[in-house]
Chain A
Amino acid sequence: MACYLTTGKHMSIYWSVLTVLLLLGITAPTALAFGFAGASAARSRIAPVSWLGRGYIAVVRGVPDIAFFLFFVIALDQIIEATRHHILCPDWVEPIRQGSDFVVCQAAKMPLGNAPQWVHESYGFAIAVFTFAIVFGAFAANVIQGAMAAVPRGQIETGESYGMTSRQTFWRILVPQMWVYALPGLSNLWMVLIKATPLLFLLGIQDIVYWARELGGIKTSRFTDYPHGDWRMWYFLALLVFYLIFTRVSEITLERLMARLTRGQATTAGEAQRKAGTT
């Protein structure tokens, strides 16, 4: 049994767990950066920049559901290919859309038709990460925008009265203080992000859902019948438990982080912490 669970095929499901963790590891900071940029843009005094930030938040949050994921991946792929097509093959006369076909010249294919397998896979992965980052960036932007608004006005005014410029008050006062207000929202978002990872499967990436279906099935591959019946239920049970544990661990970690960030802040929780410390 232990031996069976470490066969070559089973190693790929363990690798795909790493894929999921990698996706989370890349997406979370990227989405945070997108969110920070979006929120700062939305606060900007320059009207077009502010519209851009607000528009980004409103559009992405308004479009419902996994439809966005399904749509965005194809759309992004086609936009990249069409752009490359216009740059690389300017003398191509036929239209790109011919009836129900999407035709670009060979050189504009992304990735190139003769590229090795791993390029195709990592290209797909990169697009998936980008999609996740854009979508979750909009949600993070919304949270951060709210957090920036929640920093007491007096704090910024104090900074201004010391003669700081608006850039200085932003970086030295607003940004360090806003995290404590943003964290509850962001940790909520992190939980949603964890639970969104199985959707990688829909984007055609061989993630844990794919392997659970493959390995649990009775006969999937052409030449190996698995020596067991339909085990997919148990594989999915394992996934369920994996996600539950992951969620629980994140919950505990974020609680600790919150306690750490609250220290010395002008909030009720910070005040309670201070009192508990002194007595």
Chain B
Amino acid sequence: MNACVQTITDYGLRAVGIGKRLLPREDFTLCEQFTLIGSGMIWNVYFGILALIAGFGFATLLALGKASNIKVIRKPSEWFIFLFRGSPLFIQFFFGYFLFLKLKTVFPIFAPFTAAWLGALVVLFFNTSAYTAEIFYGALRSIPKGDVEAADAYGLSGWSRFKRVIWPTMLRLAWPAYTNEAIFLFHATTLVFFSGFPAWQQRGDALYYASYFADKTFNPFIPYPILAGYFILLTLCVIGLFSIVNRRLNRHLPANTRERLRIRPNLIR
């Protein structure tokens, strides 16, 4: 028991570089595997949350752009969404990494982008923006005609119509799909250290450590289920948070017409 507490103090924050420098090399205990994989989850949560928050704003703009009547705005938004939804995230990571490497030699300001904490975050941010924008765009198009007409009848227009009617309705309609997107994004964060981005000083995410243990012990039956367990917990947290928001977005509707969150996790993007 005490040994396990010691392991947790040694490796609990290993993924961000605090604690023992060397990873365990032999005689892996269950405790070590739980601690290190859990420590790697810090990165998954970090990437997921930041990309989600930043992507939300950008996605709203992109969705409005795609729904716009002005061609100069619509075309770039459409292309951006197609570019990031039409190609594998894995390739995007690789391309982003090598692009940043190249840019670094010309502009030194891009140096931090070649590290995972910023470079991968940027790629994830663009990616989730594109997927979310498509969801929001679909929701924008399915806003009931009556809602917008009612807003017009009240004399709302422009910004106030958007803020009070269109945007909340769009969010309400998009929310179930957006929840899935969020779960999906957290799952996608595991790809970061398997693409070009190096895990500097073996500071990696949960999957990085899980595959470290699987490689060293030749036994996939322990680390991967641990990883899956952590991810199920994370997914449950995400679902919990999002359903609170969902309830708030739907609070004006009669109880029997409220849309329940349907969780449909997807696999790979």
Contact = CB atoms under 8 A, between A and B. Distances in A.
Do chains A and B interact in one complex? yes
Contacts, number: 119
A66 B191 contact: yes
A100 B224 contact: no
Interface stretch (B47-55, B85-93, B157-165): B85-93
Interface residues of B, number: 43
Nearest to A213: B94
Nearest to B98: A233
A196 B91 contact: no
Contacts of B207: 65-67, 70
A248 interface: yes
Given A66-B268, A101-B218, A102-B219, A233 B99 contact: yes
Interface in B207-250: 207, 210-211, 214, 216-221, 224, 227-228, 231-232, 235
Nearest to B28: A100
Contacts of B102: 230, 233
Interface in A230-248: 230, 232-233, 236-237, 239-240, 243-244, 247-248
A67 B41 CA distance: 14
- Interface residues of B: mostly helix, strand, loop or mixed? helix
Contacts of A135: 267
A67 B217 CA distance: 16
Interface of B: 26, 28, 82-83, 86-92, 94-95, 98-99, 101-102, 187-188, 190-191, 194, 207, 210-211, 214, 216-221, 224, 227-228, 231-232, 235, 265-269
Interface of A: 61-68, 70-71, 74-75, 78, 97, 100-102, 135-136, 139, 192, 194-199, 201-202, 209, 212-213, 216, 230, 232-233, 236-237, 239-240, 243-244, 247-248
19 contacts: A62-B232, A65-B188, A65-B190, A66-B191, A66-B207, A67-B228, A70-B207, A75-B220, A100-B219, A101-B218, A192-B266, A195-B88, A195-B268, A195-B269, A197-B88, A198-B91, A212-B94, A233-B99, A239-B95
